[in-house]
Chains A and B, each alone.
Chain A
Amino acid sequence: MLNSNQSSEHASRRRVFIIIFIILTGIIFLARLFYIQVIDHRYKVYASSNVQRTITEYPARGLIYDRNGELLVYNEPYYDLMVIPAQVGEIDTTEFISLFDITREQFDNRMQSARHFSRFTPSLFQRQISKDSYAAIQEKLFRFPGFFVQPRTLRKYVHPIAAHTFGYVGEAGPSVIENEPYYRQGDYIGISGIEKHYEEELRGHKGSRIVMVDALNRAIGSFQDGRYDTMAVAGTDLYSSLDMDLQIYGEKLMQNKRGSIVAVEPSTGQILALVTSPGYDPDLLVGRVRSRNYRMLQADTLNPLFNRALMANYPPGSVFKTANFLIGLQEGGINANSTYSCPGHYRSGGITIRCRPHPQPVNPITAIQHSCNTFSAIQFRNTLELPKFESMQEALTNWRNHLMSMGFARAFNSDLPHELPGLLGSADYYDQVYGTRGWRALTVISLSIGQGEIGTTPIQLANFAAIVANRGFYHTPHVVKAIGAPDNLNPDYIEPNYTTIDSMHYEIMAEAMFETVEAGTGRFSRIPDIPMAGKTGTVQNPHGENHSAFIAFAPVEEPQIAISVIVENAGSGAAWAAPISSLMVEKYLTGEIKRGWFEQRILDAKF
């Protein structure tokens, strides 16, 4: 045994050790607390991400109406089934998979990937459950804790028309998300057509709410009484310039044909109908079936995704004579009284252009009326060889500038997507092909009848018809008439664009086109009681049957509609494109078709 002195000495040393040990523990704890509470800021970030959930409120996308206020495009609610794995308890899996019509493996896989993503935050379990399916599911959903639905909307179309014009909506891709801060993963964005061009109007503004959640992700309340919450603002409605009935009718007429119809209101440039055929049902490119259907359409040999009305590049053929005559009249290559006789062909310098028999002789009006190639070639050459032009280059450039003022060889860059400019031979081009001194008027003589180095799109032709209808100007063709309200006109297209041809020359061509329909190549398509002006075109096609083309406007005085029709590989303009134009004009101006047999012939035709 220790003696008592030693013992108390030991005891007091031990007491000191014990107290030091206890104080040391306290100091270590305080150091640790100082570190995690004061120095390390991560825990504050973790804490707010723990309790704050930002919930996005998706606005309804703007609706699209036609020019008369008829609904064309709207939104249909659907539901995404979400799951929070940590909240999923014991559920009747058999009932679940039969309710949602999935397999056991799908169920297991989705649960596993959801769990892998996060046990406590919602994951998408099943995309796009329709309204009808949801009705059946809704009353049973309570039996599956941890599952809930999130409402979204999808585009829905009243009629399966104008797919190219409307375009489509899809989830924003990674590059969009990177470049535009508005978009987040899973947001929708307009990818083409009106949906793309008017994306900012249509999308509205997303709102967001910050809610406080507890550990089971149950909403406890709003964060700071909603001080940082924003309401979703619904997208702006658009009033398309399309006439729903006319669009439907145009698509019906173009069934089983390849080609396009473009109808414009001349006084405004508003597009009344924009038909491309073959087209597709816009519903195909909505929702979860979109990418699959898109691939299917892409693989289709008829190329339904190709928007012929804006992108197809046809030589205009005889339709183009009208434009050439206007330039000739303006420059003095011909005048209103110029008269030539047509021997059935134009022959010069080893070049022959054949013509069909028609009454003799011809002046600018009758030359259009009967589509005389000889007169066209003579006036074209006269115009290019006018002494005021110092060179062929200057003459051709002048010719080309006139055409560009009429909207050829360039894109309108309006609200129409993926528009192509067409093409028009330039002096530089011919210099390259033939050498600076290697070409003359005869070299390019085929341009006189709209063949050769010339490509025009159907919308350019319709616009040209509108220019003649307006006697010298056009409003840029566009497809959205008003934004937000029917009378809130789209401000971008109000200013008229004047061409470089004087109005009086258009009067001559308007009369010529009227005569064409009254008693010329287009006479079979004359509409009783409606004075229509038109010009046929039969486009030579080295790859097969000629394309049938026609431009028209009506009525001749105070025109309400200008139109271009192209039917690929159908033959003469008079036989197919002109009757289709005539039916469209009749439909638009009178609202009905009186010539049943005439319509039936078109509906039955297949090319």
Chain B
Amino acid sequence: MNKYYIPSNMRPQLSIFKNIDKFTVLVYFILIIVGWLSVYAAEIKDTHQSIFDFSQHYGKQFVWILTALVLAVVILIMDVKFFPAFAYIIFGVGIISLIGVLLFGVTVNATKAWFHVGGVAIQPSEFVKYATALALARLIYESKTRTKTFQVIIKPFILIAIPFVLVVMQSDMGTSLVFSSFVIVLYREGYISGWLLLLGILAVILFVMTLLVNEFYIMGALTILGIITAIFLRKKPSAVKQLLVVLILVNGYVYSADYAYNEILEPHQRLRIAVLVDETVDLRGAGYNLHQSKIAIGSGGLTGKGFLQGTQTKFSFVPEQGTDFIFCTIGEEWGFVGSTLLIGLFLTLIIRIIILAERQRSSFSRVFGYALASVLFFHFMVNIGMTIGMVPVMGIPLPYISYGGSSLWAFTIFLFTFLKLDSRRLDLL
């Protein structure tokens, strides 16, 4: 027990907003307002010009924002102990909802990820990210004093794998990959070594290179590199042996990467990768979306065309212009300056959360904060990356900006839960 600790029931409850990180809340408000205006700019129609027209996405988004704010207040009112205490139960409910959606859900855009409840579509997988973050935080919190044996290390991976597999079964590749962002948390907590992470990044780079260059050239180049290194290491036979093993493994990987690309990935998945590598691939199909997305953003220029002046998104050249491709509207109407500000806002938010996470005394709060930062970062990276042709197209929203109730609610609950934990960081150990 810390000497400054004062039991919460003994302190005066001045306000539920006390100790809430105001800066983060400010960034949150800026993001949801930018998002609302962007949905309006992307989808405004001559016949429905009011931003409060509830038959349109922009009108509905206003409702989602108001209800999200109610949820935020509810989260702040709740007892902070609720979250660690109910982490597993919330996770369990989340898993059951994922199974339920597989059995009783509705298929939208070839993805079976939706419940229809009274005219409102709810996507449980958005909330499961939050539930998984809670469960992961609880699991790591519980094992903080244990020696990191294999059994200890494998548990969080199993925990993450459960929702991952279930979301894959919904055919929602984009959302399922969000769960892979938890490796950042595991890296921070020492469950994964930096080398392993580096190896993973190198593997991705090699994989992309095999698509660009004939795999035998790469294997040849790697072999030559290995031989040169071996000449330098000729005084150490054991090092040369290890090098040989690594070389064989890497060459095997390069060879099988090409095989995996051609034989394991579905044709539409291959195309999404192929269009990144070559702009001119399939301009009428998969490449069309990416091409139009880049046109919208590229045509914005330095300062953009001005609010509501964009043509590419409004006239439906860009697909999903209010949801997954919302960044196109921002790029088109606000140009490089606006894009820079938005990216700056996201980086500020994510780094702020990491800084807040690092000041937690409880590993539960810290892990939860990192999980939030990781999920936000993954969404940010994939969503913006795909609109500018740096990441394969995956249907995941830009947090707080994209139209969508489930996403906005889930990310609001996620953020405010963390802010609540942070505001009571002295109460938790």
Contact = CB atoms under 8 A, between A and B. Distances in A.
A214 B316 contact: yes
A536 B422 CA distance: 121
B147 interface: yes
B360 to A, nearest CB: 12
Contact of B347 (A15, A23, A32, A42): A23
B298 interface: yes
Contact of A1 (B148, B294, B296, B389): B148
Interface in A344-373: none
B295 A47 contact: yes
Contact of A15 (B296, B340, B358, B377): B358
Nearest to B145: A1
A27 B372 CA distance: 21
Contacts of B389: 32
Contacts of A28: 390
A40 B302 CA distance: 11
B347 A22 contact: yes
A33 interface: yes
B86 to A, nearest CB: 27
B279 to A, nearest CB: 10
Contact of A33 (B146, B292, B336): B336
Interface string A7-49: 1001100110111001101101110111011101011101110
Contacts of A26: 343-344, 346-347
A34 B336 contact: yes
Interface in B157-214: 184, 187-188, 190, 194
Interface residues of A, number: 39
A213 interface: yes
A28 to B, nearest CB: 7
Contacts of A32: 388-390
A30 B315 contact: no
A37 B351 contact: no
Interface in A125-182: none
Contacts of B315: 50-51, 212-215, 220
A33 B301 contact: no
A216 interface: yes
Contact of A18 (B184, B284, B300, B340): B184
A26 to B, nearest CB: 5
B335 interface: yes
Contact of A36 (B184, B298, B343, B351): B298
Contacts of B292: 50, 215
B311 interface: yes
B298 A44 contact: yes
A30 B340 contact: yes
Contacts of B402: none
Given A14-B194, A34-B336, A212-B315, A42 B298 contact: yes
Contact of A29 (B194, B294, B300, B384): B384
A22 B294 CA distance: 23
B336 A37 contact: yes
B297 interface: yes
B300 A19 contact: no
Contacts of B75: none
B365 interface: no
Contacts of B61: none
B392 interface: no
A396 to B, nearest CB: 75
A228 to B, nearest CB: 16
Nearest to B147: A1
B297 A37 contact: yes
B222 interface: no
Nearest to A216: B316
A214 B188 contact: no
Contacts of B35: none
A37 B381 contact: no
B51 interface: no
A47 B188 contact: no
Given A2-B190, A14-B187, A29-B384, A51 B297 contact: no
Given A36-B388, A215-B315, A43 B299 contact: yes
A488 B388 CA distance: 64
A51 B384 CA distance: 24
A290 interface: no
Given A14-B187, A26-B343, A19 B297 contact: no
Interface in A41-78: 42-44, 46-48, 50-51
A7 B297 contact: no
Nearest to A217: B315
A206 interface: no
B69 interface: no
Count class of interface residues, chain B: 35 or more
A47 B299 CA distance: 6
Contacts of A43: 294-295, 297-299
Contacts of A220: 315
B59 interface: no
A119 interface: yes
Interface in A547-592: none
A19 B184 CA distance: 11
A32 B297 CA distance: 11
B405 interface: no
B354 A29 contact: no
A216 B336 CA distance: 28
A551 B117 CA distance: 99
Interface string B288-314: 000110111111111000000001101
Contact of B284 (A1, A33, A119, A213): A119
Contacts of A216: 316
A215 B317 contact: yes
B312 A51 contact: yes
Contacts of A17: 194
Interface in A216-267: 216, 220
A225 to B, nearest CB: 14
A22 B377 contact: yes
Q: A25, A44, A216, A220: which has the most chain B beta carbons within 10 Å? A: A25
Given A50-B312, A119-B284, A214-B315, A25 B301 contact: no
A30 B299 contact: no
Nearest to A42: B298
A372 B187 CA distance: 124
A11 B311 contact: no
Interface string B327-359: 000010001100110011011001100100010
B92 interface: no
B385 interface: yes
Given A22-B350, A214-B316, A37 B390 contact: no
A581 to B, nearest CB: 69
Q: B311, B339, B351, B384: which has the most chain A beta carbons within 10 Å? A: B311
Nearest to B198: A17
Interface string B368-398: 0000000001000100110011100000000
Contacts of A18: 184, 187-188, 354
Interface in B260-301: 284, 291-292, 294-301
25 contacts: A1-B148, A17-B194, A18-B354, A22-B350, A22-B354, A23-B347, A33-B297, A36-B294, A36-B388, A37-B300, A38-B301, A43-B294, A46-B299, A47-B296, A47-B298, A47-B311, A50-B311, A51-B312, A51-B315, A212-B315, A213-B315, A214-B315, A215-B292, A215-B315, A220-B315
Interface of B: 146-148, 184, 187-188, 190, 194, 284, 291-292, 294-302, 311-312, 314-317, 331, 335-336, 339-340, 343-344, 346-347, 350-351, 354, 358, 377, 381, 384-385, 388-390
Given A18-B188, A44-B298, A214-B315, 20 more contacts: A14-B190, A15-B188, A15-B358, A22-B354, A25-B381, A26-B347, A32-B390, A34-B336, A36-B297, A36-B388, A37-B300, A38-B302, A43-B295, A46-B298, A47-B299, A48-B299, A50-B292, A119-B284, A214-B316, A216-B316
Which 10 pairs from chain A and chain B are nearest by CB? Answer: A43-B298, A47-B299, A214-B315, A215-B316, A36-B298, A37-B336, A215-B317, A46-B295, A51-B311, A26-B347
